[in-house]
């Protein structure tokens, strides 16, 4: 009793599997606007020697870095909420920073506050644009 569909309902029936339908909805790769600043010592350096700019629910530290593409780290402390909320706000901040021009040759640490968790996305983009403009 074989079936042509992954769901077993027939070839045209809606399916939660999404196997064949996902091929049509594949998103295009994003242009990389920055690379991740991963080293804890580098993050501490940027926070220690960098300039601090606050806008709304985010704080941006900026310091001169290596030549090449900008490096960015995202931080959401426990005051932001549980792990789900912290990860969500960091994902949203990553996308907000992608939509804003980031200067090459700089390292940035973007810190989320509790205010950023429930903020509308457009507002986060505005905060990022203001904080990064102050840093240039």
pLDDT in tens, 6-26: 555 555 655 555 554 445 555
Q: Report, at the CATH architecture level, how domain 32-135 is classified.
A: 2-Layer Sandwich (3.30)
pLDDT computed for residue 119 by the predictor: 94
pLDDT computed for residue 22 by the predictor: 46
Domain boundaries, the chain: 32-135
Which residues neighbour 43 within 8 Å (Cβ) at sequence distance 6 or greater?
A: 37, 73, 75, 109
> DSSP secondary structure string, the chain?
---SSSSSS-TTS--SS-TTHHHHTPPPPPPP--EE---HHHHHHHHHHSEEEEETTEEEEEEE--SSS-EEEEEE-GGG-SHHHHHHHHHHHHHHHHTS---TTEEEEEEE-HHHHTS-HHHHHHHHHHHHHHH-
Per-residue pLDDT of the chain (136 residues; tens, 9 = 90+): 554 545 555 556 555 555 544 455 555 556 667 888 888 999 999 999 999 999 999 999 999 988 889 999 999 999 999 999 999 999 999 999 999 888 888 999 999 999 999 999 999 999 999 998 876 6
pLDDT computed for residue 88 by the predictor: 95
CB-neighbour burial class of residue 109 (10 A; exposed 0-12, middle 13-18, buried 19+) = buried
Residue 110 forms beta bridges with which residues?
60, 74
pLDDT computed for residue 21 by the predictor: 47
Which residues neighbour 79 within 8 Å (Cβ) at sequence distance 6 or greater?
A: 113, 114
Displacement of CA 63 from its chain's centroid (Å): 19
pLDDT computed for residue 8 by the predictor: 55
């Amino acid at each position: 009793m074989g079936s042509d569909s992954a769901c077993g309902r027939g070839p045209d029936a809606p399916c939660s599997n999404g196997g064949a339908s996902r091929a049509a909805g594949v998103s295009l790769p994003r242009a990389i606007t920055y690379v991740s600043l991963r080293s804890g010592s580098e993050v501490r350096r940027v926070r220690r020697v960098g300039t601090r700019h606050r806008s709304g629910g985010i704080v941006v530290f900026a310091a001169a870095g290596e030549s090449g593409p900008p490096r960015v780290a995202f931080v959401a402390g426990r005051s932001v909420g549980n792990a789900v909320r912290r990860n969500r706000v960091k994902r949203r901040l990553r996308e907000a920073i992608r939509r804003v021009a980031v200067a090459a040759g700089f390292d940035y640490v973007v810190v989320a506050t509790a205010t950023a968790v429930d903020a509308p996305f457009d507002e986060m983009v505005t905060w990022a644009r203001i904080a990064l403009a102050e840093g240039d």
